[in-house]
Structure 1
Amino acid sequence: MNGAATLAYVQAAAALLELPLDAERAARVAGHLERTAALAARLQAFALDDETEPVALYCPAPFPSAPATPR
C-alpha cells in the first residue's frame, strides 16, 4: 500500500468508527500503520520450519459441574 492509499484507509476507518480524526493526526496514524506493515512483512518473509519452534498446546481446564438446583 502506498502513502495515499494508507491515508485513505485510515480516514475511511475513522469515519466508519465515528472517530474524530483531523488531517494531521490521520497522517501520523497512516505513518505508524505503514511502519507496522513494513515490520510485519519482514517477519513474515523470514522462513521458519515447523520444527523450529513447536506450537504450545492449549488444554482448557475441565468445566466445573454446576451445582444442582433444588426443585
Structure 2
Amino acid sequence: MTEEQTLAYVHAAAVAVDLPLDDAQIARVAVHLQRTASLAATLEDIPLAPHDEPAELFCPAPFDQPR
C-alpha cells in the first residue's frame, strides 16, 4: 500500500466511525498503520507448519451454578 493509499484509508475509516481527526493526526495514524503492516508482512513470510503453533483447547472456567 502506498503512503497516499494509507492516508486515504485512515481518513475514510475515521469518517466511517465519526472520529474527528485532523491532517496531522491522520498522518501519524498512517505511519503506525504502515509500520504494523510491514511487521505483519515479515511474520507472514515465515513458513510455519501446524505443529509449530498448535491451537490451545478452549476450556471454560467452571462457575458455580446459582442455587
Aligned pairs for 1:1-71 within 5 A: 1-61=1-61, 65=65, 67=67
Which has more radius of gyration?
Answer: 1
The gaps in structure 1 that reach 5 residues or longer are none
The gaps in structure 2 that reach 5 residues or longer are none
1:13-52 C-alpha deviation (Å, 9 max, x unpaired): 1011111100011011001000000001111111111112
Distance 1:19 1:27 in 2: 14
Distance 1:7 1:62 in 2: 47
Distance 2:37 2:15 in 1: 21
- Structure with the largest fraction of helix: 2
Q: How many positions carry a matched residue from both structures? A: 67
| TM-score for the superposition, normalised by structure 2 | 0.84
Task: State the superposition RMSD in angstroms.
Answer: 1.4
Equivalent position amino acid for 2:7 in 1: L
Report percent identity of matched pairs: 52
Q: Secondary structure at the match of 1:46?
A: coil
Q: CA deviation at 1:59?
A: 2.1
